[in-house]
Structure formats: structure tokens, C-alpha cells
Structure 1
Amino acid sequence: MNWFRQNRLLGALLIAFGICTVIMLILLYWTGSKLATARGEFDKATAERARLETLDPFPNDANYHKLKDYIANYHVMLDKFKAELKKEMIPETPLAPNEFQSRLRQATVATLNRARANNIKLPDNFRLGFDEFATALPRTAVAPLLGQELSQVQMLINILLDARIDGVTSFHRMPLTEEKEPKAAPTATPAPVRAGRRGGPTQKAASPETGGLASRVFE
């Protein structure tokens, strides 16, 4: 005790060194425990990998039959869902091109009036995505399909307008495959026929005068 009082600086250094040694030992113990845990997890993962590599990758018969049952049930549920979805679809009705254009005008006016009543802003010149048919008639074969799609689009827009949204900034419709004009089969143009051999003079048909002259010479 007297020595510590006489050498306070050295004693303080010894105490600090002892504290640092204890802290270092604690850190070494903590690091060693973490290393042991990591090594154990690594050995476990290595053993699991070795076990998986030795397994047969193909399913057994029981699991294969279960998978077939799951797929069959999935197809049944999918067909049932398709049937229910088809019931909710708007049916396709015969429609002439001019009737479709008239329905498009009526649907556009009704949509604009509903949007104005609900104070909802629509894009300028809004025609429910059928802009190209505002002034042009569709083909007769595609008019019923366009009428069916027009009813579906109008129903969708009415749902949005009744929900009192802030506005519709843009609305685009993907054209139907049937809307594209069928391409005409290309007609093969006959190649010009050129008489005579390659590199040789072109033979011309003999005129009546030359034909008569040749006959007189040979006579």
C-alpha cells in the first residue's frame, strides 16, 4: 500500500493494464464462442449438402401421384373459374357498323354527362378509347366484337366515375386482333423473257420480207 502511494503513476498504469487484459480476455472468449458456433453451423450445412447430393433427385411414386392429383384438381378449378367468368361477360350480339358508331356516340355522351355531374375531369376528345371509329366505320365482321368491348369499357368507366375519382388523365385501348386488315396475298409478277443465248446476239422474229427473201435464196 505504501509502495502504491509512493508510485501512483506506475500503479495507475498497472491497474489500467490489468483492466485492458481482462477486457481482452473477455473479447477473446466471446470471439472464440462465436467461432465455435459458426464452425458448428458450417459443419451442419456441409453435412446437409453431402446428404442432399446422395439423394435421388426424382420423386417417389407416392409424391408423383400426389402431384398428378394436384394438377388435375388445378385444371378442374381453373375450368370452373373460366365458366364463372364467362357468365359475367357481356354477350356478343350482332351489330352493324353504323349501329356500333351510333352506340359509340351515345356512350360517349352519357359518359361525359356522368363525369360532369360528378365533377370529374376527363381527357379532351374522350371517346372511350375508340377514337379511330368516331369518323370511320369498322368492318362488318369486327363490329359485334367492338360492340361487346364498348359495353365492357363503358361499364369500367362508370365504376370509376361512381367512385368519384379526381380525374382520368389518359385512357388507351389495345386494338383487337380482328381489327387489323387482312393482308392480301402477294401476286407473283412474271419475269421478262429474253430470247437468245447468254452472251450471244438476241434473235428476232423474221419479218415477212426477210422470210420471202430467204425462201427465194434457198430455191
Structure 2
Amino acid sequence: MARTAELGNRIELLSMDKNCHDISIGLYEQPAPDGVPEYLVHCFSQKGDVAARLQFIAEAMKVLGGMESTAAGRLRFTCGSTHRLACKRLFLEAGKLASDAALSARPLSIHDKKSGFEITVDGDGTGAYNVHASGDGDGHERRTKAVAGGLRKLAEMAETGAEAGAAFACGQAHDQLVGLLLARALNVRAVLREEDAAAAQGVLAAPSAQSV
């Protein structure tokens, strides 16, 4: 079992994993020797299927968020940047999936039930993205501005000068992350309420306090 000092700083918590015995799973951050932030999915429970569950969540973060594995079994973004807030939300989304779920990157388009529009996002390869809306009715510009604002809030993306734009400061494309967060960007307030409720459910138990 990894010692607490080896784990790094816990930055996010899945307090009750409904897909695995209601265990608590933490996401830890620690800089690598080269200075690139690395992340570890960890649980103190010793139950037999926990290791497989942790492996699934890590794999889901790679597929859904474009992360890569290190030789030490941690995760990092290929651009070398932290993207801490986006990583936290990626971890929580991965934790919602059952361990037998099929994994595939989410598309850069979605049907917006609120407006009836088809929302699409395109990138220029340098980390900058623009949101577009198509469909009958009015309010296309207002809706694209709102969705772009949602992406900026969820992933700490920057403004681009375009009202419906958002950009990663690293200057590299993160299509998988944007595809994952696009559905959540349609209703950011609901996301924040959900995260507040989840955070209030519990705390990560130390090895001596958690059932094995």
C-alpha cells in the first residue's frame, strides 16, 4: 500500500463509488522529476476488486480525457500542463461509469434539449475552440456564448476574443476533454450543484478507518 506521503496532494474525492462497494476513491497530484504534474487514482480499501476498479477509472480518464500513463502508473496530460480543474471533472465523470462500460471519446457535437439546437465545437489545433449552433428558432448567438462560457468555467479555459470561443493556455488541442465537458457545459449550474452535493457526502477514510 502506498504511504500518504507518496500519494501527493489529494485534489478530488469520489466519496461513495456506487459501482464498487461504496468505496471512497481519491485523485492525487504530484509533480514528476521533470516538473510535469502527474495524477494518481487511489483507494485505501483492500477489497479484492478495488484494484481493477481503479485501473478502469484510470483507463477511462485516458480515453475520455486524452491523458497518458507514466511508467510509475500515474496519469499526465501530453501537453505537460496541469489542467487541474478539468482533470478533477474528468475523474468524477469516469467514476460514474460502471467497470464494464464501453469506453470511447465523446464527439464534439451534441443536441441541446433546452434550445433544440445542434451544438458543435471546432478547434484550430492550438487549443482554441469555437462553439456553433444550428437549427430552427432564434437565440443561436446567445446559446453559443453561454456554452462557451460553460467550457471556460469547467476547464479553466481562457477567452479568445471571440464571444463563443474558449482556449487552453497550453496552446495544444484537447479534443477529448472538450467532448467530455460539452454536455456539462450546457448546464453549468446543475454541474456545480451536483458537485457540491457529492462533496458533502463524505470524506476519504484512512486505512485504519476504512472497511477492508
Q: TM-score range by the shorter chain?
A: under 0.3
Q: Normalized per residue, which structure has more strand?
A: 2
TM-score normalised by L of structure 2? 0.26
Normalising by structure 1, what TM-score? Answer: 0.26
Structure number with greater Rg is 1
